[in-house]
Amino acid sequence: MSAMSRIVLLFVQLMVVSQAFYLPGLAPVNYCKKENDEEAKCQSNVPLFVNRLNSEESVIPYEYDHFDFCKVKGVSETVVENLGQVVFGERIQPSPYKIEFLKSEKCSKVCNKPYDPQNPKDKQKLDDIKRAMNLNYYHHWIVDNMPVTWCYYVEGGSRFCATGFPVGCFVDAAQRPKDACVMDKRYKDANTYYIFNHLDLNITYHSGDGEDWGAALHGPGGRILSVRVSPRSIKHIKGVKDEESCDTTEVMGIDKIFKEKVDISYTYSVTFTKSTGNNRWSSRWDYILDSMPHTNIQWFSILNSLVIVLFLSGMVAMIMLRTLHKDIARYNQIDAGEDAQEEYGWKLVHGDVFRPPRRGMLLSVLVGSGTQVFMMTLITLLFACLGFLSPANRGALMTCAMVLYVCLGFPAGYVAARLYKSFGGEKWKSNVLLTSMLCPGIVFALFFIMNLILWYMGSSAAIPFTTLLALLALWFLVSVPLTFVGSFFGYRKRCLENPVRTNQIPRQIPEQSIYTQPLPGIVMGGVLPFGCIFIQLFFILNSIWSSHTYYMFGFLFLVFLILVVTCSETTILLCYFHLCAEDYHWWWRSFLTSGFTAFYLFLYCVHYFITRLSIEGVVSTMLYFGYTAIMVFLFFLLTGTIGFIACFWFVRKIYSVVKVD
């Protein structure tokens, strides 16, 4: 077996192991009937929480209270949200839906909402609900820390379980049913809204027969595995018992033009189903993750891309090592007394290759900030692979990333200070301030502008003012001081000694061919790194904009490692070609070559926006591209820093092993 085959096999084994290892996230809750709850120390009440409503056709999510749905009277439980949940716009609240374990409900009434066309407030409330149906907004409910799912069959006969269910649906003037209306042929009248005012909840539980915790319940009980919902639009029968008012096939249609009084009754039914298979609480997320669209189809394509990138990287590494070995051996064979004309290639520019670049202050600041982003990404992915940031632990991924970014100000200041000192820079105060303020300031400014728009629109994604102050406190009271400390230690270190001396007079660079000019090299440099990540981008963007659950952190970590290797090798290869062409301006070019991958990321986000999303409205479009700009900027810092550090190591290495007078 060749060395490259062993590397591929090792990566595949790591992928399998990292996918198999999974921590559920939270401790299980044991439920039992109400008459047994005190004796068995278990819980009979099954709380149902409501979360924000969002849509793929609008980037603006709204709180549950924004719409005129049934509200809870007298909040008995409060939900504490972490920083990641608040930033992502999650707003979890108790609901008026009451569920007791193993107690079935049939057509239980929650509330009644009458609307009068003569009342402007009623008209506004109903218009908000109509808009939610028109833009296909989804409810997101939570039971036992599990999302309430809506499962239906898609093309090809496969079953898809969405985390959430629609508010309703709309049939336009051409009698074209929209989205959820396709599921039922009764939703067919033109210019009519059908609100899903009745929910059939099916709760599957694991009884724990034969297990210690099951025996401790002293009776029927178990742990919840899944909660599925079947939303329906029904026009309740008046004058009959509440339990019988749902026994109708007549739908609740609301005309597009509000002329007559509308009376909407919200009801729900609950059934409990005992799991008969080998399902366990620790694997209860599997039915959601396994139904994600295209997941199984994409595995083969992802593995192909992995193998191609690995082999291509191996070939590049072999070519570089063999060519460099010959160059170094040839240069070292030249006697000291020979004519200087014998020198050629990259050795000719040894007196200029370490000449400090223009705008060295800015370059050192960007590299320092990129180091901060790189370490944050690496540590976050490691935690995610170990299962600590699983889907069950809501908001943990964002919280971990933000806390790590703040706490990693020390390496950012240290790297920026050492690099700036090696450039001969003397304005160390400006360097420290820019390192701690420039890149975080750009991200915060974009984020604040998006937040102002969300505040104006009344969205749940708008960060509360107190949380905004907390983020500023983390920045100025934690990140900035750590950056100053890192810069202090960086400046106290000895200046990096270059392996060769720099000439006083810069060498003239000969005319370059089109292949060795800066711009073509930079444009080509980002193609290969982007090629190894673009498939994962589909899943990542789906999780951000389409509310799909992302769980392939093991493979994402491997792709991240391949991205690091590919950015490094591509930048080193192009740097070598430019040095052989006697162009010694490699500092900025090494950063921009791999950093240009961010431009292809932006193009892919534009492609995703056009082909996958149905976002309407100027505000939603601005929000989408605003958040995309933040993501692209951070990715630019990440990839640019990887390429620069790799090229910096490469140049110092090759000039330290040749004999120079």
The answer, yes or no, to whether residue 316 has pLDDT greater than 70, is yes
pLDDT of residue 381: 93
The answer, yes or no, to whether residue 335 has pLDDT greater than 50, is no
Span of 22-31, 266-275, 458-467, 622-631 with lowest mean pLDDT: 22-31
Please enumerate in sequence order all residues whose Cβ is within 8 A of that of 3, keeping only pairs 6 or more positions apart, or say none: none
Q: Kindly state the tokens that stand for 75.
A: 């909040």
Alpha helices for 268-408 (secondary structure H): 286-289, 295-333, 360-385, 396-407
pLDDT, one tens digit per residue, over 213-238 is 544 444 567 889 889 999 999 988 88
pLDDT of residue 22: 38
Distance (Å, whole) CA 307 – CA 10: 12
pLDDT of residue 222: 84
Q: Which residue has the tokens 């921590």?
A: 23
Is the Cα dihedral 512, 594, 347, 352 positive or negative?
positive
Span of 5-14, 124-133, 265-274, 368-377 with lowest mean pLDDT: 5-14
pLDDT of residue 91: 85
pLDDT, one tens digit per residue, over 148-180 is 999 887 666 667 788 889 999 888 876 666 667
pLDDT of residue 7: 39
The answer, yes or no, to whether residue 639 has pLDDT greater than 90, is yes
Q: Kindly state the tokens that stand for 154.
A: 């898609």
Mean pLDDT of 183-191: 81
Please calculate the CA angle 193-198-200 and round it to the nearest 5 degrees.
Answer: 135
pLDDT of residue 8: 36
pLDDT, one tens digit per residue, over 85-104 is 888 888 888 999 999 998 89
pLDDT of residue 489: 93
pTM: predicted TM-score of the whole model, two decimal places: 0.86
Helix, coil or strand: residue 106? strand
pLDDT over 70 percentage in the chain: 85
Smallest Cα–Cα separation from 55: which of 160, 158, 152, 179? 179
Q: Which residue has the tokens 């493979």?
A: 555
Q: Is 345 exposed, middle or buried (0-12, 13-18, 19+ CB in 10 A)?
A: middle
pLDDT band at residue 372, thresholds of 50, 70 and 90? Answer: very high
Smallest Cα–Cα separation from 252: which of 169, 192, 194? 194
pLDDT, one tens digit per residue, over 401-450 is 999 999 999 999 999 999 999 888 888 889 999 999 999 999 999 999 99
